[in-house]
Structure 1
Amino acid sequence: MIEMHDVYKTYDNGVVALNGISVKINKGEFVYVVGPSGAGKTTLIKLMYRQERATKGQIVVNNMNVTSISDQKVPLLRRQLGVVYQDFKLLPKLTVYENIAFALEVTEAEPKVIRQRVIDVLKKVGLTKKAKHLPQELSGGEQQRVAIARAIVNKPAVIIADEPTGNLDPETSWGIMDLLEQINRDGTTIVMATHNKDIVNTMRRRVIAVDHGKIVRDEYGGDYGYEN
């Protein structure tokens, strides 16, 4: 599903963010990527959806070689992925329905297909009654649910989440995690970068710890392992 072989990432300013990363994530897994600030975990997940390009090495995501595809084929890669951000990245002038539908419109899906899929995911994330609201009319947790709905509306094989609970209070965070768990049970692979010690320690999934650009721990049923 996701494979990295001897991956390096050095930025233009000389900072080495990743230093020889090799890892395999199988279909249907739920994986936490943890580590101190500046350890390289955000770079690691950005490479998966080609937000950043590796300096060296090979990355394969859902049978696509991410390191060698042209820029023109990046949208094709991202149609197979759903990305969830800490700051939601919703379009402020579009309603909840329109924000989710936009992810399908760019793939030129039929209007009938768009309508049915948007209705389905709104129900899944519990926001059917908020379809006509604008993002600023929603709570932080509701906005993140919209972001998740947008990420799953294309029925992606993989969800990549970068600190999806980072701006949320503890109770709301657990609601988001319950939703991600449900999506994972449906068969979607989830890779989530997080600083949330309580979530990692409670849910006990696979934990990949990154420090100084290297994987220092890869443990099934692992704990967070750092002091916040």
Structure 2
Amino acid sequence: MIEMVNVSKVYKNGVTAVNKLSVKIEQGEFVYIVGPSGAGKSTFIKMLYREEKASEGSIKIGKFDLMKIKEREVPMLRRYVGVVFQDFKLLPKLTVYENIAYAMEVVEKTPKQIEKRVFEVLDLVKLKHKARMFPTELSGGEQQRIAIARAIVNMPGILIADEPTGNLDPDTSLEIMDILDEINSQGTTILMATHNSQIVNDIKHRVLAVENGRIVRDQQEGEYGYEI
């Protein structure tokens, strides 16, 4: 579960990116985060995996209290909160298998555990046959699927997807959404920041609309609600 109460983030230059924001997201939900550029969506997301620290308020994610968490505990939080980025962030000199395995090596899983789980997530994203290839040998959609596999390999309770279809064509975007829906059906909470109105309008989930650092709309089975 995610609970934010009266959360604000003021940057050193005086800009208030998030302003007294409160929201609760239950385990297993799929939530879109929408809003115009500069609305505070990115800051909102970054606070959830402690890329940014809130200036005030309360943020609780599972057993973690993000206002009290120590720096040495942040890696533990990030095992519970997986993140998928728009630009994939794959390591170019590692194979597909090695990119995913690396996420398990840092948490000291055994080679046998790693091999079993890596091929499980590759099967989920339908790219088991590309395990020995390098990121540069993959299409954009395939790279995003590998990025998703890496983000879920340690079985996080929450998956944050920041514009995961932003660089992809419509058909590939739908393939990514199928994968995210499958992950969600297995119990993982998904938060997806997006400007893709067609996906939000066609594949219905809860919608949080952020403007001026606040949630201005919270709709179950909501619409995108902005002109593109």
Shift of 1:108: 0.6
Q: Could you list the per-position Cα deviations for residues 24-80 of structure 1 after superposition, in whole angstroms to 9, with x for gaps in the alignment? A: 000100000000000001110110000110010110111210121011110010011
Superposition map of 1:23-172 within 5 A: 23-172=23-172
Q: Could you list the per-position Cα deviations for residues 101-139 of structure 1 after superposition, in whole angstroms to 9, with x for gaps in the alignment? A: 000000011111011000111111001110010000000
With the length of structure 2 as denominator, give the TM-score of the two structures.
0.99
Q: Following the alignment from structure 1 to structure 2, what is the Cα–Cα distance between the partners of residues 225 and 123?
A: 35
Q: Following the alignment from structure 2 to structure 1, what is the Cα–Cα distance between the partners of residues 51 and 61?
A: 13
Amino acid in the other structure paired with 2:143: Q
Q: Following the alignment from structure 2 to structure 1, what is the Cα–Cα distance between the partners of residues 172 and 87?
A: 15
Give secondary structure in 2 for the equivalent of 1:191: strand
Q: Following the alignment from structure 2 to structure 1, what is the Cα–Cα distance between the partners of residues 182 and 122?
A: 14
Unpaired segments ≥5 residues, structure 1:
none
Amino acid in the other structure paired with 1:144: Q
Unpaired segments ≥5 residues, structure 2:
none
Amino acid in the other structure paired with 1:94: L
Query: Which residue of structure 2 lines up, in the alignment, with residue 13 of structure 1?
Result: 13
Superposition map of 1:212-223 within 5 A: 212-223=212-223
Amino acid in the other structure paired with 2:100: I
Aligned residues: CA RMSD = 0.6
Q: Following the alignment from structure 1 to structure 2, what is the Cα–Cα distance between the partners of residues 73 and 95?
A: 29
Query: Which residue of structure 1 lines up, in the alignment, with residue 190 of structure 2?
Result: 190
Query: Which residue of structure 1 lines up, in the alignment, with residue 207 of structure 2?
Result: 207
Count residues with an aligned counterpart.
Answer: 228
Identity among equivalent positions (%) equals: 62
Amino acid in the other structure paired with 1:155: M
Shift of 1:171: 0.7
Shift of 1:19: 0.4
With the length of structure 1 as denominator, give the TM-score of the two structures.
0.99
